[in-house]
């Protein structure tokens, strides 16, 4: 059974930018300033596709399932130390280019135990060191079953703003829209090390529409 997860087609984060670009393009066209109207209109089209927020249906139920938090390409699946909790973890990283949907969705439902924000650099988000050196925002989540994981929004080369709408103590539901990153970025998810990964390196994935992993059962 699938559960509908509708949102407006255009993300609210893009409304001011898209509206301003359209108004400027119309004004420039009215004054026959084609040399200005054309690039602004092209930017308007780019902004439309960048800020799109398509409706997604959650996949069939999976006990312990970890939902894909971002659109993009899987660029890392590796055992590492979670830099926020300092515990062994399985990291799954998804790189979003400027043509991907940039809405971020919760990989699990549950309580936000902690939220961390770290200012940093703006390296290419596809580089491994960007997870530790770039500007980033992290949420420490605990499911109703007691499993804990961390999902991290990482700024990229041209990303200049990370938006997150959850704070410590908030409760979120599976697939909930929790944030947005403007203009190229990545999302890292730190899972218990014995989690089962359900995606492969290089695979294209869609947020809110597929499972990327299954958490182990607690003893």
Which of the residues 89, 130, 131, 185 is marked catalytic?
Answer: 185
Burial 99-125 (b: 16+ CB within 10 A, else e): ebbbbbbbbbebebeeeeeeeeebbeb
Burial 199-218 (b: 16+ CB within 10 A, else e): beeeeebebbbbbbbbbeee
Q: Which DSSP string corresponds to 109-150?
A: -EEEEEEEEE--B---TTSTTHHHHB-EEEEEEE-TTS-EEE
- 185 noted as active-site residue: yes
Q: CA-to-CA distance for 28 and 47, rounded, in angstroms?
A: 18
Q: CA-to-CA distance for 149 and 52, rounded, in angstroms?
A: 28
- What are the tokens at 175? 């697939």
Q: CA-to-CA distance for 157 and 60, rounded, in angstroms?
A: 35
H/E stretch holding 171 reads strand 171-172
* Catalytic residue list: 185
């Amino acid at each position: 059974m699938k559960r509908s997860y509708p949102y407006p087609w255009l993300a609210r984060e893009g409304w001011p930018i898209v509206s301003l670009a359209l108004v400027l393009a119309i004004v420039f066209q009215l004054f026959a300033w084609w040399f200005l109207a054309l690039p602004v209109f092209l930017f308007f089209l780019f902004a439309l596709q960048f800020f799109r927020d398509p409706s997604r249906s959650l996949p069939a139920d999976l006990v312990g399932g970890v939902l894909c938090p971002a659109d993009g390409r899987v660029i890392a699946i590796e055992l590492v130390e979670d830099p926020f909790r300092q515990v062994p973890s399985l990291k799954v990283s998804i790189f979003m280019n400027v043509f991907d949907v940039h809405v971020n969705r919760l990989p699990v439902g549950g309580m936000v135990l902690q939220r961390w924000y770290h200012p940093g650099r703006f390296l290419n988000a596809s580089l491994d060191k960007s997870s530790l050196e770039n500007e980033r925002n992290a949420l420490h989540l605990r499911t109703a079953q007691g499993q804990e994981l961390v999902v991290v929004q990482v700024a990229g080369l041209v990303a200049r703003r990370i938006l997150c709408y959850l704070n410590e103590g908030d409760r979120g539901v599976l697939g909930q829209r929790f944030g947005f990153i403007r203009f190229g970025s990545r999302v890292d998810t730190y899972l218990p090390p014995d989690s089962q990964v359900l995606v492969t390196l290089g695979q294209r994935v869609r947020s809110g529409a597929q499972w990327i992993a299954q958490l182990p059962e607690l003893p």
